[in-house]
Structure 1
Amino acid sequence: MPTKYERKGVYLQRVGRLFDTYENLLVVELDNVGSKQMQDARRDLRALQSEILCGKNTIIRKALKEKLAGRPSLDKVLHELRGNIAFVFTKGDLREVRKCIMDNKVPAPAKTGQIAQCDVVVPAGPTGMPPDMTSFFQALAIPTKIERGSISIMSDVQVIRANERVGASAVALLQRMNIMPFTYGMRIRKIYEEGAMYAPSVLDITTEDLIERLKEAINKMAAISLGSGYLTAPAVPHLMLRASKALVAASIGADYDMPQSRDLRQFLSDPSRMEELVAAAAATTSAAIAPAATGAKAADAEVAQAQEPAEESDEDMGLGLFD
């Protein structure tokens, strides 16, 4: 049977192997997680090319310090070694691994004195309790009535608020109604990916979110540029639009004919010609597009004709018409 020091040496070797093999890991908290729940999590994560490492923080800290010389970025993981935690090493997709961890939860009853995970509301309706339990509900200030020989709650009642300590009366009520309002499971604290440490909420960011943030940044930069008079690339389209408007306004004010303001000047002189001007503009656009389309079709026809094999003639065979 191996001694304590031999087991510690084997464990240190395993920790070093995991940090050398995997580039990504998740730091998870294991408060109130049972052994059966951990076994189920190990089985599910194994299918996602992942391993769970549990152990004493002091031993893991010692193994990490030995790796800092080759991988200084592991110092970020070293700062997370506090509390009841475990590491999930993975080569799979981080979103799938996170989903697997979050789905591995079990329902749990409320306990007196614990911090509530969420709001707990007892729904209105029959409770199945006999009428002699009415005083119990009256002590909790819960409105009830008797229906078909049992107590029925008249309206929804919030008995526990999130992030507050659970009272004994609320625990007694939930136990009598067989309600288990909370869930226990591994909670992801941080994610380490290729040298970067970030919160798990970062995985919820999509490409569309990044594009929207980029648009907001460009709009803000253009606004600051226009307001301060300092020229930047995002402000150029706005400046060009302003210049075009000023040019058209000057043309109309000076009664100077120019192509950019001709239609607008005609409309201002005779608003009744609006439909005629719109139709003329549409016809002009169609006329500009048609030659391009015709040219493209002609080019395609020439290419197709060039690709067709030339027909053989009698002259190619060296024979005349009457030979």
Structure 2
Amino acid sequence: MVSGKNAKVEEVKKIKEMILANPIIGIVNMQNLPMAQLQRMRKKLKDDLTIYMSKKRLIKIALEELKSEKPGIEKLDDLLKGMPALMFTKENPFRLYALLQKSKSKAAAKAGQIAPTDIKVTAGPTPFAPGPIISELGAFGLKTKVSDGKIEITEDKVVVEEGQEITGELASLLMRMGIEPMEIGLDLIGVFEDGSIFGKDVLAIDEEEYFNNFVQAETWAFNLAVEAGILNSKTTELLVQKAYRNTRAVSIEANFLTDDNADEILGKAERQMKSVESNVDFSKVPEAKPEEPAESSEKVEEQKDEEKPEEKAEESAPEEKPEEKAE
């Protein structure tokens, strides 16, 4: 017969062996999970993960003893809350979290339960007729008015914050309002992988939002690559087309005639000619005067021919010889 002490030693040993044999170890909170629901989930997820329940104290011992063999594993100690259980898998932590979230179902709140998230009552009509219910709603800070014979909530209001206990009065009110804030399923608190701990705040991603973010990032990267002239499999065709259009536009602007742009340049010249023709009144343009014959050379000749009488007389008078003296 195995003694209680030996049984605990064997249990710790088993936990350590399972931790060492699996790359990904998760901590789940089993609190408020009905046994029937647990059995259904185990059967549904048996190909993806293994759930192992043990005493919290024994799990702590196993984690502490493994910190040298698996550094960082001891950090899971801080995640042992509620009714913890170990989960072993080879699945990607983010896919694992999404898988567990999809397997959950909604349920009404019960007195004494802890709110998994902020529980909010949104503005809008209620099924209640005016009466004492107005005071009940007001006790939780809900503002109301009467509309079409029914009570209407006028503003959104968080009636209990995450981690707080749900009172019997609030649980009853939420049930009558048809609000089911609780989720029945495996609550994944955190996951250990390669020395790192991923909490639920990291694992809880909106797949649609992330997909849209990736699409947006791709669009920005594409536009940046095109603007910077970076050639790759997605931008080459567009950049070549852009370069062709720019080159063609420059050649047309510079009137550089090619086989490709001849029609545009000739069309441009024709449009400019018609623009000038439409803006100029040729009837008001003065006619050119006929050129006068050149007279300057003839006048020069005349001046040469016309000489002063004195100069002419001097030139024609014979030279006087001196008289010879009589011997």
Please classify the TM superposition score into its range, dividing by the shorter chain length: 0.5 to 0.7
Which structure would you say has the larger Rg? 2
- Cα RMSD, aligned residues only: 4.7
CA contact (8 A) 2:25 2:87 kept: yes
2:131 is matched with 134
TM-score, structure 1 length as denominator? Answer: 0.55
Q: CA deviation at 1:162?
A: 6.3
Q: In the superposition, relative to structure 1, how do residues 191 and 216 fare at CA in structure 2: closer, same or farther (>3 Å)?
A: farther
Q: Structure 1 stretches of 5 or more lacking a match?
A: 147-151, 272-323
Q: Which amino acid aligns with 2:12?
A: L
1:5 is matched with 5
1:55 is matched with 54
Q: Which amino acid aligns with 2:203?
A: P
Counting only pairs closer than 5 Å after superposition, residues 145-164 of structure 1 correspond to structure 2 as 153-156=150-153, 160-161=157-158, 164=161
Q: CA deviation digits over 1:256-301, x for unaligned, max 9?
A: 1134544543564579xxxxxxxxxxxxxxxxxxxxxxxxxxxxxx
Q: CA deviation at 1:187?
A: 2.5
Identity among equivalent positions (%) equals 15
CA contact (8 A) 2:225 2:231 kept: no
TM-score, structure 2 length as denominator? Answer: 0.55
Q: In the superposition, relative to structure 1, how do residues 140 and 100 fare at CA in structure 2: closer, same or farther (>3 Å)?
A: closer
Q: How many residues align?
A: 251
Instruction: Give the whole-Å Cα distance in 1 for the aligned partners of 2:196 and 2:104.
Output: 26
Instruction: Give the whole-Å Cα distance in 1 for the aligned partners of 2:69 and 2:38.
Output: 32
Counting only pairs closer than 5 Å after superposition, residues 120-269 of structure 1 correspond to structure 2 as 120-121=121-122, 124=125, 126-127=127-128, 134-138=131-135, 140=137, 142-143=144-145, 153-156=150-153, 160-161=157-158, 164=161, 170-171=170-171, 173-174=173-174, 177=176, 179=178, 181-185=180-184, 186-192=186-192, 198=198, 199-201=202-204, 204=207, 210=214, 212-220=216-224, 226=228, 244-262=244-262, 264-265=264-265, 268=268
**3-state SS of paired residue (2:5):** helix
Instruction: Give the whole-Å Cα distance in 1 for the aligned partners of 2:183 and 2:101.
Output: 11
Q: CA deviation at 1:233?
A: 5.3
Q: CA deviation at 1:248?
A: 2.6
**3-state SS of paired residue (1:80):** helix
Q: CA deviation digits over 1:155-207, x for unaligned, max 9?
A: 356685266366776445346x3745321443333344566654324583788
Instruction: Give the whole-Å Cα distance in 1 for the aligned partners of 2:62 and 2:188.
Output: 22
**3-state SS of paired residue (1:265):** helix
Instruction: Give the whole-Å Cα distance in 1 for the aligned partners of 2:145 and 2:211.
Output: 50
Q: CA deviation at 1:42?
A: 2.9
